[in-house]
Amino acid sequence: MLYSLLRKFLFLLDAEKAHYFTMDVLKVICKLPFAKQIIRKIFCPPDSPVTLCGLQFKNPVGLAAGFDKNAKYLDELSLLGFGFIEIGTVTPLPQSGNLKPRLFRLPKDQALINRMGFNNDGVEKVADRVKIFKEKNRSKTIIGGNIGKNKITPNENAWKDYETCFLKIAPATDYVVVNVSSPNTPGLRDLQQKEELKKILAHLIFLNKEKKYFKPIFLKIAPDLNQNDLDDILNLAIEIKLDGLIINNTTISREHCKTKREKIDKIGAGGLSGKPLLDRSNDLIKYVSDKTNQKIPIIGSGGIITAGDAIKKINQGSVLIQIFTGFIYQGPSLISKINKKFREM
């Protein structure tokens, strides 16, 4: 009830401004005496441990990349009950991203459209913030690092950007996610082609072993892949023994939206997240789980607005789940609701 009232106010603001306003207010609140203890007591559920790739997650509910791109709010977010938080997407060089406005709400659909464009402070600064959090904080919250390429980097040199990011972020985080599926960096999704993707992933796996990081490496895929490209990715994942897949990123499709088409067209380009993506995401999870005989662990992401939505993803084959848009529409209570449902399974 309290969050629904707060949301009415926040939704009067520009979506991106509302995001940073909310997190900055939470940061101030957390500096008050006993505030952290109170917030943790209210929102943190009993542990429901899940093990994946040698990592023990205190519960299966994660925060997807994009919410805390620069790892500025890890301390505050870890109080809300997440089992893991994924920072990024980070790039080798800082970049400002696309022109504003670039984040839009579709309330009728409980959805968002974003064309942020990998705006971030650069991998070095972000990695340092994660290290500081890890050193000062005894939280059992797992931290993942989502990596991408700079907009100015041509695709033939993309592997170098991923190498740079990996070498910086892997020592600081618990796992690493390769993002080649955002629709908001021109040409990025072309890197999902088998040979381009193999060049990037095989090199990172080599670096992982050579540097003895042994950090799980996941790949985040688009929901808009055609069947042949999807099957190529699955074959490659098995061939190189990829640690897992995150299914999935935002979509360029506008199907299943209740919002008037004129409003959507006026917003323009960007990746759609939220409720309209749920069925496509679940179908992908089921297909990948069946096609690979559950050989590739799956983190399910896309369209989770209710606890029931999350459990569907688990039932379709996900080991863990991530939320983003649902967190914005439903607030922190969504985390505890999902965990409660999970414990009842």
Percentage of the residues of the chain whose pLDDT score is greater than 90: 96
CA-to-CA distance for 254 and 272, rounded, in angstroms?
7
Q: What is the mean pLDDT of residues 307-326?
A: 98
How many domains is the chain partitioned into structurally? 1
Asked if pLDDT for residue 88 goes beyond 80, the answer is yes
Task: State the average pLDDT for the chain.
Answer: 96
Domain assignment of residue 1, yes or no: no
What's the helix, strand, coil split of the chain in %, to 5? Answer: 45, 15, 35
| pTM for the full predicted model | 0.97
CA-to-CA distance for 133 and 172, rounded, in angstroms?
10
Who contacts 344 (Cβ-Cβ below 8 Å, separation ≥6)? none
Q: Where are the alpha helices (DSSP H) in the chain?
A: 2-10, 15-29, 35-43, 74-77, 123-136, 158-169, 194-210, 227-240, 261-267, 278-291, 307-316, 325-330, 333-344
Q: What is the mean pLDDT of residues 329-340?
A: 96
pLDDT score at 136: 87
Domain assignment of residue 23, yes or no: no
pLDDT score at 2: 78
Asked if pLDDT for residue 216 goes beyond 70, the answer is yes
pLDDT score at 298: 98
Catalytic: which of 78, 182, 318, 333? 182
Domain assignment of residue 288, yes or no: yes
Who contacts 270 (Cβ-Cβ below 8 Å, separation ≥6)? 102, 104, 113, 114, 115, 183, 184, 250
Asked if pLDDT for residue 11 goes beyond 70, the answer is yes
Place of tokens 């040199």: 157
Give me the helix-helix angle, 307-316 and 333-344, nearest 10°: 50
Q: What is the CATH number of the domain that holds 62?
A: 3.20.20.70
Asked if pLDDT for residue 240 goes beyond 80, the answer is yes
Sheet with 111-114, side-by-side order of all strands? 103-106, 111-114, 271-274
Q: pLDDT tens for residues 110-167?
A: 999 999 999 999 999 999 999 999 998 777 899 999 999 999 999 999 999 999 999 9
Domain assignment of residue 63, yes or no: yes
Q: pLDDT tens for residues 279-295?
A: 999 999 999 999 999 99
pLDDT score at 137: 78
3-state secondary structure of 87: strand
**Domain membership of residue 330 as a residue range:** 43-344
Q: pLDDT tens for residues 55-78?
A: 999 999 999 999 999 999 999 999
Q: pLDDT tens for residues 167-178?
A: 999 999 999 999
* Residues 131 and 112 sit within 8 Å (Cβ to Cβ): no
pLDDT score at 255: 93
- The single-letter code of the amino acid at 260 is K
* Residues 110 and 325 sit within 8 Å (Cβ to Cβ): yes
pLDDT score at 228: 96
DSSP class of residue 189? G
Complete DSSP assignment for 38-65: HHHHHHPPPP--EEETTEEESSSEEEPT
The pLDDT-based confidence of 99 (bands split at 50, 70, 90) is very high
Asked if pLDDT for residue 1 goes beyond 90, the answer is no
pLDDT score at 345: 87
Residue 182 designated active-site = yes
What H or E segment, with its residue span, contains residue 191?
none
Q: For strand 175-179 and strand 142-147, is the pairing parallel, antiparallel, or unpaired? A: parallel
pLDDT score at 121: 98
